[in-house]
């Protein structure tokens, strides 16, 4: 691909802001930039690499001259405008859930299935021109689990997530900060986003609840998306919880293996895998923490230990921390766009 014209849809929301930052930090080649935002923000100025760009409102012709569009404006926006952009010849990297489970839309984590984007390509041009970014929890779990699965064969993963306010956007982060101020001032807590006390509390993830099976939508995304990314059946049990942390999700992951492994084997795989940083200092009790993961491209992995409930070597427990706005969303999207540069 030539040096592309890039668009960001949802440029003023939390993930959109980080998409712009990731483009810059990764030195992504940009011939020109188009930025799209809410109609109320039309004309607002966004600075990128020293140049000011005015926010635009999307219309039928917005993507005619765009090569790659990074979408982070919500599912309704993607449902309406991704097909329009794709039909114009623009390749859409969509951060919503709208296209993730569509069979012929690749669901991409570059460290795992970069060649899946070839399904989108045709001999006479680009196919449907839509690539899906997985859910943040799915990405953060999949990056460390995949190399272990590839090497040893993971039969089952049981995951508990500790998800920060950042997963619900800027307004949720601001509400958590405001609740801290309210608490300190001794006044009633602001509860506009979650409808409950968030500070000093944790609760079942706030995504829609499936009354028929007891899962919430966040959990179900990991269950459905992981096999599509891994390219085959993969058993996941998961519980997703919202915790009063501003940024970066954490997870406790239990893995059951087909083959017996040693902790040395596990460490070797994790240390060699892209996108990971092993942080596992038992002596000083230094392991992955959300404060350390915030703003970092790598997913932190630690607390590696044998699962004592099974025969030694056939199960391990690990703990991870990863920035949901970065590898869980914006960074992964830009890394997908980097794959397109090679085509």
Q: Residue 296: is it exposed, middle or buried by C-beta count within 10 angstroms (0-12/13-18/19+)?
A: middle
Which of 22, 149, 240, 249 is labelled catalytic? 249
Provide CB contacts within 8 A for 233, sequence distance 6+: 227
At 275, give phi and psi (nearest 5°): 85, 5
Q: Tell me the C-alpha distance between 151 and 7, whole Å.
A: 38
Please give the C-alpha separations between residue 75 and each of 42, 72, 82, 134, 206, in angstroms, as whole numbers: 20, 8, 10, 13, 17
Which of 136, 149, 205, 287 is labelled catalytic? 136
Q: Is 149 a catalytic residue?
A: no
Residues in the chain: 343
Q: Is 129 left (phi over 0), alpha (psi -120 to 50) or beta?
A: left
Q: Is 136 a catalytic residue?
A: yes
Residues identified as active-site: 136, 249
């Amino acid at each position: 691909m030539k040096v592309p014209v890039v668009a960001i849809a949802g440029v003023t929301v939390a993930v959109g802001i980080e998409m712009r930052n990731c483009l810059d930090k990764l030195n992504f080649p940009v011939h020109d930039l188009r930025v799209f935002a809410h109609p109320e923000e039309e004309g607002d100025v966004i600075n990128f690499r020293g140049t000011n760009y005015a926010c635009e409102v999307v219309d039928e012709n917005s993507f005619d001259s765009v090569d790659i569009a990074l979408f982070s404006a919500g599912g309704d926006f993607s449902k309406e405008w991704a097909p329009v952009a794709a039909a114009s010849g623009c390749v859409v990297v969509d951060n919503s859930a709208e296209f993730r489970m569509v069979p012929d839309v690749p669901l991409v984590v570059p460290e795992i299935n970069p060649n899946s984007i070839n399904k989108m390509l045709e001999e006479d041009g680009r196919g449907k021109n839509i690539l899906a970014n997985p859910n943040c929890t799915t990405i953060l779990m999949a990056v460390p689990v995949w190399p272990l699965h590839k090497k040893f064969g993971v039969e089952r993963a049981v995951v508990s997530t500790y998800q920060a306010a950042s997963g619900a956007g800027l307004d949720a982060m601001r509400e958590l900060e405001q609740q801290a101020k309210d608490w300190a001032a001794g006044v009633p807590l602001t509860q506009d986003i979650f409808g409950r006390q968030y500070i000093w509390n944790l609760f079942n993830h706030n995504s829609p609840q499936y009354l028929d099976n007891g899962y919430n939508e966040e959990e179900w995304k990991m269950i459905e998306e992981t096999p599509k990314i891994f390219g085959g059946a993969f058993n996941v049990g998961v519980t997703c919880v919202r915790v009063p942390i501003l940024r970066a999700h954490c997870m406790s992951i239990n893995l059951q293996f087909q083959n017996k492994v040693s902790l040395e084997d596990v460490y070797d795989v994790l240390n060699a895998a892209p996108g990971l940083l092993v942080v596992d200092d038992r002596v000083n009790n230094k392991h992955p923490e959300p404060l350390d993961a915030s703003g970092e491209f790598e997913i932190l992995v630690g607390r590696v230990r044998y699962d004592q409930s099974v025969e030694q070597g056939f199960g391990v427990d690990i703990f991870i921390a990863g920035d949901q706005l970065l590898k869980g969303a914006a960074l992964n999207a830009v890394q997908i766009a980097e794959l397109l540069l090679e085509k």
